[in-house]
Amino acid sequence: MNGMTQQEWVEEAWNQALAKTKRNSQRIGAAFPHASQGGKYVLEVPSWWTAGFWPGMLWQLYAGSGAGDGGLKAIAEDCEQQLDEVLDGYGKLDHDLGFMWLLTSVANYKLTGAEASRIRGLKAASHLAARFNLKGRYIRAWNPWHEGEDNSGVAIIDCSMNTSLLFWASAVSGDPRYRHVAEAHMDTVLEHFIRPDGSVYHIVNFDPETGEVLEKRGGQGYAPESAWSRGSAWALYGLALAYHHTGKQSYLDASKQVAHFFITRLPEDHVPHWDFRAPGAVGEIRDTSAGSCAASGLLLLASQVEASEAHVYRNAALSITESLYRNYGTWDDDGEEGLLLHGTSNYPENRNIDVPLIYGDFFYVEALARIRDAGPFYWE
């Protein structure tokens, strides 16, 4: 495209993301952006599930740019320390411990060897493992959202990403129990979340006493039997990660199955709609975060299969990432902090529709880092 080689556009895209993030860091500092409204990221409390993505992006850019920018590192470390209030507070912890501590403490530990970060990562993993329901063999997703609610039977597809924290904890501690929990949960994903066509359910509700499946729900998708695109991205990436950590063929096969569904539903510009089965004008709304997350997952998947298959996943990832860069980026707009326009957080609840999202930005940077072969990657 535009006569540039792949290496040229990827370097240009990386430098644009780095420059814009440095600018943003002067206003945002050590805080927790989620969705951009009117050009500025709205800052959330540290306990919100997205708290890891800003520091995670800073670590990724820091590590991928010759570790030369201590300013980004210092902000990421400050964010990590602020999360102690959540980790030690216990009451606000749910299954998103992986999103939050893989991209802060595990990232820090991988890059610097900091002992305090290793301990934080292990504490977070212990809290996550403790959410395992033995009867249903699932990790409980959320705590009650309001007084009297019982959601102890709820598991969600997003947790496929969080299990990487458990695989990491077993690897660093030598204790296999974390991995056992992660595998049991991912086996449940295979059994109950993936449909025969490769699309996925967002939510499965189990009887927490017997483990019986009570209901499958659309959750953040359009309808129970629709196909929420970010859910597909969580599944294809999470299953590729589970394969990376275990070598279990069934995870790789399922990741490929979900990837085929995802790739074949992409519109002409390669960036997914928020739900692949939403009808009419509603179905035209994009979710760039699903695109960037899937792109990074597809690049991992491509690295796990024979060359004869790898090109399918790699080419799809490159097409998505290049389209995000060319058609959805904000490089010439200093009045917008988000890197990517047109993310959709939660359509059914009418929250953050068609706006930049911090996890969309994070996975976009991570996908570029994968194309540049500039890890480490904190899920692995």
Binding to ligand GLY, residues 288-347 (CB under 6 A): 345
Q: Is 226 in the site for ligand GLY (CB under 6 A)?
A: no
Total chain residues near ligand GLY (CB under 6 A): 4
Q: Which of 60, 220, 257, 323 binds ligand GLY (CB under 6 A)?
A: 220
How far is Cα of residue 197 from the mean position of the Cα atoms in its chain?
A: 22
Cβ atoms of residues 165 and 102 within 8 Å:
yes
Q: Decide whether 155 or 302 has the Cβ nearer to ligand GLY.
A: 155
Nearer to ligand GLY, 135 or 351 (CB): 351
* Residue 158 binds to ligand GLY (criterion: CB under 6 A): yes
Minimum gap (Å) between residue 142 Cβ and ligand GLY? 9
Query: Residue 40 burial by CB count (10 A; 0-12/13-18/19+): exposed, middle or buried?
Result: middle
Q: Tokens 């301990």 identify what position? A: 119
- Do residues 352 and 289 lie in contact, with contact meaning Cβ atoms separated by under 8 Å? no
Of these residues, 94, 158, 275, 287, which one is catalytic?
158
Name the residue nearer to ligand GLY (CB basis): 239 or 305.
Answer: 239
* Sign, Cα dihedral of 264, 268, 273, 276: negative
- Give the residue with the Cβ less far from ligand GLY, 142 or 331: 142
Q: Which is nearer to ligand GLY, 314 or 342 (CB)?
A: 342
197 in active site: no
Query: Is 280 within 8 Å of 216 (Cβ atoms)?
Result: no
Q: How far is the CB of 11 from ligand GLY (least distance, A)?
A: 30
Q: Does 230 bind ligand GLY (CB under 6 A)?
A: yes
Nearest distance from C-beta of residue 107 to ligand GLY, angstroms: 20
Catalytic-role residue among 96, 275, 287, 361: 96
- Window 345 to 364, contacts with ligand GLY (CB under 6 A): 345
Shortest separation between residue 220's beta carbon and ligand GLY, angstroms = 6
User: Is 96 an annotated catalytic residue?
Assistant: yes
**Residue 83 or 357 having the CB closest to ligand GLY:** 357
Smallest distance from ligand GLY to CB 323, Å: 21
Q: Which C-beta is closer to ligand GLY: that of 75 or that of 156?
A: 156
CB of 230 to ligand GLY, least distance (A): 5
Please give the residues from 166 up to 195 whose contact with ligand GLY meets the rule CB under 6 A: none
Q: Which pair of structure tokens corresponds to residue 146?
A: 């309001």
Bridge partners (DSSP) of residue 37 are 40
CB of 18 to ligand GLY, least distance (A): 25
Query: Which residues bind to ligand GLY, rule: CB under 6 A?
Result: 158, 220, 230, 345
Positions marked active-site? 96, 158
